[in-house]
């Protein structure tokens, strides 16, 4: 419930860059490519696991038009992580710019920079490489078996924070926690469910693949323009990897053509920077779509075991969640993703006995990374499927079962303290939770009352309904920091300079709304610049559902400070006390008795008339809470019981994100996340051959929905007021992707009795499950 009336906040204003983008104005990295830029192409390993025994680049180097060839023999060997995270990173240091060991099909062998793409490609073909092919690890279950091939046997591999890390066993991270006693909880239960679930590989598929360019300026600094969610982490990691000072690197982020987490990673920038240094020419590298699938990052596949005990009355007595996570060839984000699998779902239902284990393993497959939902997507599938399986066992309506157990305002959970991001978490009580209203509104919209058990259904085409409840977080408490600079111009407009990184979500608009609201002016008076490591203050970047909540508070703080300065100048000009004044409609006005000066007059006065100074300030913010947004999702599906094909008829997402700063953009976040989740649940799938090569790295075979596949979609924003957030706001961007896997799995079961526990829910799996009477032998995943 919004407690206040707002002027700019909570209004569906035009997104500030919308028209520029709709007009097709140059905005993205590729639009700024100089025509004389050298083009970079990368030779990828043909083997999933191999050692280069010899490599000859001489012919490529001699080719006319080739300016530089990089490989492990001519670059510094500096171990680092590609994960764009805070320092010291919770991800292990296990990656080099180039290495003589190949760890997945597509791994970097050598890069060429040439006058044209054609020349670069031709040069790759004349690089002679011989490999000693090693047996690969291609299945998650095999990674930690005795005698398994070791993916990271290099001596440099290490963890930089104190967490379990045993690369000789292919173990990239591990976390374990128990609250109460799980076994005791299960023993007290009337019913126990114990199932395995597997969520599959998936890719973010930003329509703009990774793209970076760089040049060396006249002061010998490397200027990198790149499609990144983490410009400051990018600067730090590039400097580290090239062994140059941070001051020699500038990272500029123009508009980004989608990220969803995959651009929270240093994938191209190290090579682009090195090529610029070596050639002194502008260089440009963009991934092909195939490279984007294979060589950027993916969702960590997880093999999960979920145990739950409950009493007949619906009391949950024990929850055990074991996640075996496949981080692929590098350990990027492995620990923190699996931590989130526990910390973002386990507090959702009250329970005294909880055990969680997350084990992250290396394989010779594409690397996992940050992906919208970040571990919660995986756990939500297991958890919310199991909630339905338990509801069936104890004979309760799954909606009732969830309603009686879910966390509510004022509650806390021991999980919050026990599990943080690679370390202990932070105690917090829930201060805003409208999950109950989300469930109610969603159930009404989908028509939950019509829901009948699958045993009552007949005919070839059968419909069913399923639901899922979700929570996420808003920023990483006590770790993430955001900052903003605000300064006033002569016409009463303001420059808002932020490290916060709009990756297409509209955060520039949302943050400008917060500034305008606080300053008493309109959105068009805020000129946003984000992000540029030379120009804007630090921000961790766009991840962990942090921008509105964390960077929003930094903006609100700096706007408060600037507002004070404005009032002080206004008081001088109106010859009164600042406390007698307020701001409204871009003016300072006397609360009583009349008298006003415009912002423009104030700015001119402060710049040119007396006691001159720049009205402006900087503010940084860390947060002490990570208030979860909540959501209830409902799906109605139709199953063709002869072919097993599943069609989503309607999808309802009801979400509590506190105050939606921009309701349309908040809805857009939900709709985009839900749609992504629906295709992930039903059609998106990595197919590998038995050598670890991905067979379908293109949009022809890896299917995203188009407008013509869209089911009826309904988004319901259920406002609450999060008192620690800017104008009552919490996050919204990630949570929506977590619902479709479980909601659709539950709906399929309700339609036809088939219980699918491995994604994606293909027609063949549903058909096989129906053949087997609803149960399907658990299919082993990758």
Partner 1 sequence: MNYIDFKSPTGLAEARSMLKELGDRASPVAGSTLHVFLRDESPKVAVDILRLGLSGIRLMNGEYHIGATTTVSDLLEHRQPGWVLDRVAKAFVTQPIRNMATIGGSAVRVFPWSDLPIALLALNADLVITGDDERVMAAPKFFETQPFHHLQPGDLLTSVRVPALGAGQGFAYHKDRRTSTDFSRCTVAAWLALEEGRIADVRIAVGAAVPMPRRMEAAEEALKGARPGPAAFAKAVEAGIDTLRWKGLHGISDEFARHLASVLIVDVLTQAHEEAKGA
Partner 2 sequence: MNMKSITFTLNNEKRSFDIEPDETLIDLLRRSGYTGTKLGCDTGMCGSCAVIIDGRIVNACILFAFQVDGRTVETIEGVGDFDRPHPLQTAMADAGAVQCGFCTPGIIMAAKALLEQKPNATEEDFNRHLDGNLCRCTGYVKIKEALLSCSSATGGQS
List of residues contacting partner 1 (CB under 8 A): 642-643, 645, 679, 682-683, 685, 687, 696, 700-701, 703-706, 708-709, 762-764, 767-768
Radius of gyration (C-alpha) of the chain in whole angstroms: 27
Give the dihedral sign, CA 733/735/737/740. Answer: negative
3-state DSSP call for residue 653? strand
Q: Is 357 in the site for partner 2 (CB under 8 A)?
A: no
| Cβ closest to partner 2, residue 12 vs residue 76 | 12
Q: Is 156 in the site for partner 2 (CB under 8 A)?
A: no
DSSP category for residue 749 = H
Q: Is 100 in the site for partner 2 (CB under 8 A)?
A: no
> Which part of the chain contacts partner 2 (CB under 8 A), choosing from 253-261, 436-444, 526-534, 614-622?
253-261
Instruction: Show the binding pattern over residues 661-680: x = contacts partner 2 (CB under 8 A), - = does not.
Output: -x-xx-xx-xxxxxxx----
Rounded to an integer, what distance in angstroms lies between the CA atom of residue 740 and that of residue 681? 6
How many residues does this entry show for the chain?
782
Residue 642, binding choice from partner 1, partner 2, none, Cβ under 5 to 8 Å by partner class: partner 1
For tokens 């991840």, the residue is 543
Q: Is 704 in the site for partner 2 (CB under 8 A)?
A: yes
**Residue 251 φ then ψ, to 5°:** -115, 125
How many residues bind partner 2 (CB under 8 A)? The answer is 60
Rounded to an integer, what distance in angstroms lies between the CA atom of residue 382 and that of residue 42? 38
Rounded to an integer, what distance in angstroms lies between the CA atom of residue 559 and that of residue 220? 36
The number of C-alpha atoms within 13 Å of 390 and in the hemisphere containing its C-beta is: 33
Select from 485, 494, 487, 489 the least CA-distant residue to 534.
Answer: 485
Binds partner 2 by CB under 8 A, chosen from 26, 76, 135, 453: 26
Select from 548, 546, 555, 554 the least CA-distant residue to 479.
Answer: 546
Sequence-distant (≥ 6) Cβ neighbours of residue 708 within 8 angstroms: none
**Residue 449 φ then ψ, to 5°:** -60, -25
- E strand intervals along 203-313: 211-216, 222-226, 249-252, 283-286, 302-310
Q: Is 414 in the site for partner 2 (CB under 8 A)?
A: no
| Cβ closest to partner 1, residue 160 vs residue 645 | 645
Give the helix/strand (H/E) hosting 645: none
Rounded to an integer, what distance in angstroms lies between the CA atom of residue 47 and that of residue 50? 6
Binds partner 2 by CB under 8 A, chosen from 12, 73, 395, 447: 12
| Cβ closest to partner 1, residue 253 vs residue 650 | 650
**Cα 355 from chain centre:** 26
Q: Is 22 in the site for partner 2 (CB under 8 A)?
A: yes
Q: Are 582 and 591 in contact (CB under 8 A)?
A: yes
Q: Is 36 in the site for partner 2 (CB under 8 A)?
A: no
| Cβ closest to partner 1, residue 500 vs residue 646 | 646
Q: Is 24 in the site for partner 2 (CB under 8 A)?
A: yes
| Cβ closest to partner 1, residue 277 vs residue 763 | 763
Cross-sheet strand order for the sheet of 630-640? 461-471, 630-640, 646-656, 712-717
Q: Is 456 in the site for partner 2 (CB under 8 A)?
A: no
| Cβ closest to partner 2, residue 257 vs residue 552 | 257
For tokens 């090529």, the residue is 275
> Which part of the chain contacts partner 2 (CB under 8 A), choosing from 14-22, 94-102, 540-548, 688-696?
14-22
> Which part of the chain contacts partner 2 (CB under 8 A), choosing from 51-59, 503-511, 536-544, 618-626?
503-511
| Cβ closest to partner 2, residue 10 vs residue 100 | 10
Report in angstroms how near the CB of residue 206 gets to partner 2 at its nearest: 6
Binds partner 2 by CB under 8 A, chosen from 2, 6, 7, 28: 28
How many C-beta neighbours within 10 Å does residue 450 have? 9
Q: Is 258 in the site for partner 2 (CB under 8 A)?
A: yes
Report in angstroms how near the CB of residue 527 gets to partner 2 at its nearest: 16
Residue 422, binding choice from partner 2, partner 1, none, Cβ under 5 to 8 Å by partner class: none
> Which part of the chain contacts partner 2 (CB under 8 A), choosing from 165-173, 491-499, 548-556, 695-703?
695-703
| Cβ closest to partner 2, residue 502 vs residue 617 | 502
Instruction: Show the binding pattern over residues 186-215: x = contacts partner 2 (CB under 8 A), - = does not.
Output: ------------------xxxxxx------
Task: Classify 638 in phi/psi space as left (phi over 0), alpha (psi -120 to 50) or beta.
Answer: beta
Sequence-distant (≥ 6) Cβ neighbours of residue 701 within 8 angstroms: 687, 695
Provide the binding-site residues for partner 2, judged by CB under 8 A.
12, 14-15, 17-28, 30-31, 35, 204-209, 255-260, 286, 288-289, 503-506, 662, 664-665, 667-668, 670-676, 698-700, 704-708, 710, 713, 715
């Amino acid at each position: 419930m919004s407690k206040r009336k707002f002027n700019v906040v909570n209004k569906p204003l035009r997104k500030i860059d919308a028209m520029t983008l709709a007009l097709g104005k140059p905005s993205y990295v590729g639009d700024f490519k100089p025509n004389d830029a050298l083009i970079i192409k990368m030779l990828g390993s043909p083997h999933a696991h191999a050692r280069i025994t010899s490599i000859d680049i001489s012919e490529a180097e001699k080719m006319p038009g080739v300016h530089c060839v990089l490989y492990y023999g001519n670059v510094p060997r500096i171990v680092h992580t590609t994960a764009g995270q805070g320092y010291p990173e919770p991800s292990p240091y296990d990656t080099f710019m180039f290495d003589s060991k190949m760890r997945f099909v597509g791994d970097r062998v050598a890069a060429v920079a040439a006058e044209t793409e054609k020349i670069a490609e031709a040069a790759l073909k004349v690089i002679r490489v011989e490999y000693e092919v090693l047996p690969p690890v291609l299945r998650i279950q095999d990674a930690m078996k005795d005698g398994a091939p070791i993916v990271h046997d290099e001596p440099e591999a290490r963890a930089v924070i104190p967490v379990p890390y045993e690369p000789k066993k292919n173990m990239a991270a591990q976390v374990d926690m128990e609250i109460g006693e799980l076994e005791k909880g299960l023993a007290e239960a009337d019913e126990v469910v114990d199932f395995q679930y597997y969520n599959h590989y998936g890719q973010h598929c930003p329509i703009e693949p990774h793209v970076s360019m760089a040049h060396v300026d006249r002061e010998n600094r490397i200027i990198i323009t790149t499609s990144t969610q983490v410009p400051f982490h990018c600067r730090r990691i590039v400097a580290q990897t090239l062994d140059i000072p941070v001051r020699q690197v500038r990272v500029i982020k123009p508009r980004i053509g989608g990220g969803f987490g995959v651009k929270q990673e240093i994938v191209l920038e190290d090579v682009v920077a090195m090529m610029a240094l070596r050639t002194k020419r502008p260089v440009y590298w963009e991934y092909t779509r195939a490279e984007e699938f294979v060589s950027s990052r993916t969702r960590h596949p997880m093999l999960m075991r979920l145990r739950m005990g409950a009493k007949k009355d619906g009391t949950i007595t024990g929850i055990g969640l074991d996640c075996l996570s496949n981080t692929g060839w590098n350990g990027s984000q492995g620990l923190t993703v699996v931590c989130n699998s526990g910390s973002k779902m386990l507090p959702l239902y009250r329970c005294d006995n909880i055990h969680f284990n997350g084990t992250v393993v290396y394989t010779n497959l594409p690397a996992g990374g940050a992906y919208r939902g970040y571990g919660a997507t995986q756990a939500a599938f297991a958890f919310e499927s199991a909630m339905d399986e338990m509801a069936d066992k104890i004979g309760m309506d799954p909606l009732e079962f969830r309603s009686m157990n879910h966390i509510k305002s004022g509650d806390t959970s021991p999980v919050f303290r026990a599990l943080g991001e690679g370390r202990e978490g932070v105690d917090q009580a829930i201060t805003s939770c409208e999950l109950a209203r989300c469930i109610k509104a969603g159930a009404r919209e989908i028509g939950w009352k019509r829901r009948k058990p699958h045993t009552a259904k007949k005919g070839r085409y059968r419909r069913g309904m399923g639901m899922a409840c979700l929570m996420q977080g808003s920023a990483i408490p006590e770790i993430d920091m955001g900052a903003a600079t605000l300064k006033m111009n002569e016409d009463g407009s303001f420059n808002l300079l932020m490290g916060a990184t709009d990756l297409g979500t509209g955060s520039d608009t949302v943050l400008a709304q917060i500034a305008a609201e606080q300053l008493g002016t309109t959105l068009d008076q805020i000129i946003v610049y984000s992000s540029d490591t030379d120009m804007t203050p630090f921000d961790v970047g766009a991840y962990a559902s942090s921008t509105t909540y964390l960077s929003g508070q930094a903006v609100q703080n700096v706007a408060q400070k600037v507002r004070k300065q404005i009032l002080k100048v206004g008081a001088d000009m109106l010859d009164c006390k600042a406390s007698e004044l307020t701001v409204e409609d871009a003016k300072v006005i006397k609360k009583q008795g009349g008298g006003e000066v415009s912002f423009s007059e104030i700015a001119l006065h402060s710049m040119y008339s007396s006691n001159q100074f720049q009205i402006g300030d900087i503010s940084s913010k860390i947060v002490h809470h990570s208030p979860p947004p909540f959501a209830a999702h409902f799906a109605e599906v139709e199953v063709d019981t002869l072919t097993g094909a599943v069609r989503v008829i309607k999808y309802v997402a009801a979400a509590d994100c506190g105050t939606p700063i921009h309701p349309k953009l908040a809805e857009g976040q939900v709709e985009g996340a839900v749609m992504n989740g629906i295709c992930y649940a039903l059609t998106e799938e990595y197919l590998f051959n038995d050598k670890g090569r991905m067979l379908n790295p293109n949009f022809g075979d890896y299917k995203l929905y188009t407008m013509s596949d869209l089911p009826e979609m309904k988004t319901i924003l259920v406002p609450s007021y999060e008192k620690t957030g800017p104008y009552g706001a919490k996050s919204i961007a990630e949570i929506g992707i977590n619902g479709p896997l479980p909601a659709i799995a539950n709906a399929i079961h309700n339609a036809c009795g088939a219980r699918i526990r491995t994604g994606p829910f293909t027609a063949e799996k549903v058909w096989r499950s129906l053949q087997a009477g609803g149960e399907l032998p658990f299919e082993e995943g990758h």
